[in-house]
A = this chain, B = another copy of it.
């Protein structure tokens, strides 16, 4: 299994549940956006298997801490995650309530001219809201 090492290297024991979540998240051609609920459903359908919600929350948060998924900053009742961990941005379609990737190369270079004393920039995220 290709994910066993990945998990071990990050100090996470390769449990059955974590490996299955890896499969669902990373064994895909394309990256995607998801909420915890989306993921839970996907696991049930795709693996014909149920993993406790608490475990899914724990695992996704562990993966986020390790940088395997990213949280998308957006106001919504649910938290959105992204399996695309490259430096990129998002469109948010207000009508269809849908996120669309916006690659870094599709956004001109962003220069932050203001500096905050003693702080360093960790990330720059752009959200472009669109509508009909």
A106-120 CB contacts (< 8 Å) to partner B: 106-114, 116, 118-120
A52 part of interface (Cβ distance < 8 Å): no
* Total copies of the chain: 2
Minimum CB distance partner of A108 in chain B: B111
Instruction: Please tell me the size bucket of the interface on A.
Output: 35 or more
Smallest beta-carbon distance A11→chain B, Å: 22
Q: Give the secondary structure class of A's interface.
A: strand
A85 part of interface (Cβ distance < 8 Å): no
Smallest beta-carbon distance A42→chain B, Å: 21
A75 CB contacts on chain B under 8 angstroms: 71-74, 79
**Chain A interfacial positions (CB closer than 8 Å to B):** 71-75, 79, 91, 93-94, 100, 102-103, 105-114, 116, 118-132
